[in-house]
Amino acid sequence: MILKGVTLPNGEVTDVEIESGCISSIKRTTSSGLDCDGLVLLPGFVDLHAHLRQPGFEESETVLSASQSAAAGGYTTVFAMANTEPTQDSPATVQYVSCLGEQVGLVRVRPIGAITKGLQGKELAPLAAMAASSAQVKVFSDDGNCLVNVDLMREALLEVKKFGGVIAQHAQDHQQTVGAQMNDGKLSIELGLTGWPRAAEEQIIARDVELAIETDSRLHVCHVTTAGGVEVIRWAKAKGAKVTAEVTPHHLLLNEELVRSYDPVYKVNPPLRTEEDTFALRRGLLEGTIDVLATDHAPHSKERKECEWQSAAFGMVGFEIAASVLFKVLILEGEGDWNDFARIMSIKPSEIGGLTKIGNPVEGSVADLVLFDPTTSRVISKQTHSLSTNNPWAGLELPGRVVHTMFQGRLTVKDGELVG
């Protein structure tokens, strides 16, 4: 197959030929092929943080529906969070999830292993065994159950260091967030909703980067949301800590003012912060303090969101808007370029997740590719390919669109539609 007239991240316009799942040549040809005039060619996106909900919560999402939604968003690799039922805390479960992904075959599904058994924060899960399994787990996280126990955290960092793994921490000091519902501040007081102090996030990040320095092991900070959090990570990187960080599309673009509607579609953990925080996160991303965009795609069935704010579940869907949000804040409104875009969406996340052979498209590399149209814009509909509709982006107009997605040389999305 030949992709005709693609624009490379560096601006060059050329043709790309795909043979047996790999890029065989990048040069102008006279042969005909798929017209990609005006489309930017990027490496397939890699999402380090998503909830696929299978096994255990199939009413919200399955590996199939999540893979479809991810492919539609330009993803070719998705890291599946460990909070399934049963928990992804054993070789058997991670291999099962990995197999489900292979059966669907739309994206590469890489399970994240739980750090502790059952996400209980009491006893380490068999990390090395999960790493050695066919699922090749490299990323470990207790997700929303932030690992507060300092001894276990240190032990986990030392354990993953042996096989080049990474601990991904959802930074939240639970003592400070009992019953918390939204960002702590004037607005939470006005709305009568329990506040979620910034310190609850920042002090865990601060402690963890110290541990990462002490153990010389790799720490990945999940979904940073505060200006202070960005500062702590900047400091840690300057000290040479092996720390990386992610930000979500919603924390880049949405802010706490939306909570005024009391619509639980805006309820998310960690919470939407202030507009100033969104600006600090954008700067952090551009300068590289924050390494990657990760969706924290968190589908929930209707009844978990159609209820009182305090009873509602935390989380929102995100696969199908992520690229547009980044395009808007990084390129249209920021000073980033397509190389930054590829670094944030694909190259860095694949490095952090321990994947091989994913980078800027070159001859010989695996044909995991996205063709993105930066000239169009679209109004987001509530229903996406996800089984769930907890979609705060519904009705908003966002720039750009994923036109084609290619996974291992095969089109999974063509002209915005799923293939087969």
CA distance 317 to 48: 14
In the complex, what is the shortest distance from the CB of residue 190 to other proteins, in angstroms, rounded to a whole number?
Answer: 7
Bin 144: left if φ > 0, else alpha if -120 < ψ < 50, else beta.
Answer: alpha
Residue 378 and residue 115: Cα distance in Å, rounded? Answer: 40
CB 378 within 8 A of CB 64: no
Member of 29, 103, 310, 383 binding other proteins (CB under 8 A): 310
Task: For the CB of residue 392, give the shortest distance to other proteins in the complex, in Å.
Answer: 15
Name the residues annotated as catalytic: 296
What are the distances in angstroms from CA 164 to CA 213, 217, 321? 15, 9, 31
Distances (CA, A) of 312 to 62, 268, 330, 417: 21, 10, 32, 32
Site string for other proteins, 319-358 (x = CB under 8 A): ----------------------------------------
Half-sphere exposure of 408 (CA within 13 A, CB side): 6
Q: Which residue carries 């321990």 as its tokens? A: 354
Q: Specify the DSSP element, H or E, that contains 236.
A: helix 227-238
User: What distance in Å separates the CA atoms of residue 303 and residue 33, rounded to the nearest whole number?
Assistant: 46
Among 92, 132, 189, 379, binds other proteins (CB under 8 A): 189
Other C-beta atoms closer than 10 Å to the C-beta of 214 total: 12
Rule CB under 8 A: say whether 311 interacts with other proteins.
yes
**Is 193 a residue that touches other proteins (CB under 8 A)?**
yes
CB nearer other proteins, residue 162 or residue 302: 302
162 counts as binding other proteins under rule CB under 8 A: no
Please say which residue, 189 or 379, places its beta carbon nearer to other proteins.
Answer: 189
Does 33 help bind other proteins (rule: CB under 8 A)?
no
Q: Could you tell me how many residues of this chain bind other proteins (CB under 8 A)?
A: 18
Place of tokens 């939407």: 272
Q: With respect to other proteins, which residue has the nearer C-beta, 161 or 174?
A: 174
Give the C-alpha separation, 258 to 255, whole Å: 6
Measured from the CB of residue 303, what is the shortest distance to other proteins in angstroms?
7
Binding to other proteins in span 64-103, by CB under 8 A: none
Contact with other proteins (CB under 8 A): which of 12, 257, 306, 415?
306
Site for other proteins in 243-282 (CB under 8 A): 261-263
Asked whether 77 and 352 are in contact (CB, 8 A), the reply is no
Strand pairing report for 369-379 and 397-407: antiparallel
* Distance of alpha carbon 265 from alpha carbon 392, whole angstroms: 6
Question: Which amino acid would we find at residue 383?
Answer: Q
User: Distance (Å, rounded) from C-alpha 270 to C-alpha 348?
Assistant: 23
Give the nearest distance from C-beta 265 to other proteins in angstroms: 11
Separation CA 298–CA 306 (nearest Å): 16
Only one of the segments 76-84, 215-223, 274-282, 309-317 lies at the binding site for other proteins (rule: CB under 8 A); that segment is 309-317
Closest CA to 201 of 182, 178, 220, 176: 176
- Determine the interface stretch with other proteins among 9-17, 185-193, 203-211, 244-252 (rule: CB under 8 A): 185-193
**308 scored as a contact of other proteins (CB under 8 A):** yes
Of positions 179, 192, 240, 420, contacts other proteins by CB under 8 A: 192
Of 263 and 351, CB closest to other proteins: 263
From candidates 191, 213, 258, 380, binder to other proteins by CB under 8 A: 191
73: DSSP letter: T
Q: Which of 118, 121, 126, 185 contacts other proteins by CB under 8 A?
A: 185
**Which residue, 235 or 314, has its beta carbon nearer to other proteins?**
314
Q: Does the bond joining 399 to the residue before it have cis omega, within 30 degrees of 0?
A: no
Between 259 and 280, name the residue whose CB sits nearer to other proteins: 259
User: Which of 30, 175, 179, 190 is close enough to bind other proteins by CB under 8 A?
Assistant: 190
- Give the tokens for residue 187: 């607005």
Please choose, out of 114-122, 189-197, 276-284, 405-413, the segment that lies near other proteins by the rule CB under 8 A. 189-197
What does the radius of gyration of the chain's CA atoms come to, in whole angstroms? 20
> What's the min distance (Å) between Cβ of 138 and other proteins?
37
| Binds other proteins by CB under 8 A, chosen from 132, 150, 307, 379 | 307
Of 108 and 305, nearer to other proteins (C-beta) is 305
Of the candidate spans 19-27, 200-208, 225-233, 305-313, the one that interacts with other proteins by CB under 8 A turns out to be 305-313
What is the nearest approach in angstroms of other proteins to the Cβ of residue 193? 5
Phi-psi region of 199 (alpha: psi -120 to 50; beta: other; left: phi over 0): alpha
Q: Which residues bind other proteins (CB under 8 A)?
A: 185-186, 188-193, 261-263, 303, 306-311
